[in-house]
Structure formats: structure tokens, C-alpha cells
Amino acid sequence: MKWKVAQKAWYERVVKVRRKEWFEKNGPCVDCGTWEHLELDHVDPKTKISHAVWSWGDRKRTIELAKCKVRCHGCHLEKTKRDLREMDANAPMRIVDPPGMAWCCTGAHFVPIEDFTKNRAKRRGIQTECKYCRSKTRNTGNRNTKLRRASAGEMVDTIRL
């Protein structure tokens, strides 16, 4: 409980002050000129590391804030909607999995969906590695590891060597 009180006091003393000073220095909303409900907006969302920059050190925070502009809440929402529409305009350029196939991230190849190991992952569309790649990565080194441990004097299941 004391930790929460101390953390809240630090937030009030440090983080809120940093945020307030930065917004005062960098002016009103770049679109409409209002001073109410100001927010950080990353000019290029791809370069964003995090939005929680106020607790960072000076150097790291300055680098991240250099990528940002000040926008009010309404203008920030409009810009975000515009950015999402532009991104969706590039949708035909995305690689689409062939029907009944999915991308194996480990082996970098397309595999039939039924060749993925985890059913839950298949249903949610999060295929990471196919059965072949999974068995290849799991079996690599097993025999060598057991032999190494056996030579070091450890008890090893010799039936499976």
C-alpha cells in the first residue's frame, strides 16, 4: 500500500509536470489551435516506440518526442482515421495466404493449415510453425545433449539414447 502512495506522489511530482511543461512549450494543436485536451501524435506511426514517454530519462524522451506533434483529442482521432484509410488503400499489395494454406514463420514457407500443431492457434489465425519445422527445432541437439550430460557423469535415460 505504501508503494502505491509513493508511486502516485512521484507521478504527480514528476510525470505530470514534465507533460505539462512540454505541452506549454510546444504550443496548441497544430490543426485547430486549441489548448484543450492536448495529446501526443506520432507523425509516422511506424517509428513509434511507445506513447508512455513521460517517465523516461531526458535523452530517450527527447528522441521520442522529436517524432511527435501536438494535437487535440478530436484532431488526433481524425488523423488516425485518415492514416488507417491510407493503410487500407495498400491492402491489395499485401501477400494473401492461398486458400487452405498458412504461413510458417519458422521455415518461411506456406503449409496446409492442418499441418500446424496447435489447434487453438489455427482457430485464432496465429500459426507460428508447422509440424515439420517444430519437430526439426525440437529434435536438434537432443541426442547430443544427452551424450554430453552422460559424459559429464550425470544419470541419463539410456533407453532413449
Q: Return the domain boundaries, the chain.
A: 2-92, 101-160
Cell of 151: 559424459
User: What pLDDT is recorded for position 127?
Assistant: 55
Q: Output the pLDDT for position 161.
A: 42
pLDDT along the chain (161 residues), means of 10: 83 87 91 91 83 85 90 92 76 66 71 66 58 66 53 51 42
* pLDDT score of 159: 47
Q: Are 83 and 45 in contact (CB under 8 A)?
A: yes
Query: Which residues on neighbouring strands pair with residue 39, listed in sequence order?
Result: 71
* Contact (Cβ atoms closer than 8 angstroms) between residue 133 and residue 110: no
Return the DSSP state at 96. -
Decide: helix, strand or coil at residue 111: strand
Q: Give the residue among 151, 148, 112 at the shortest CA–CA distance from 132.
A: 112
Paired strand residues for 111: 102
Distance (Å, whole) CA 97 – CA 76? 34
131 phi and psi, to 5 degrees? -60, -40
Q: What is the pLDDT of residue 81?
A: 87
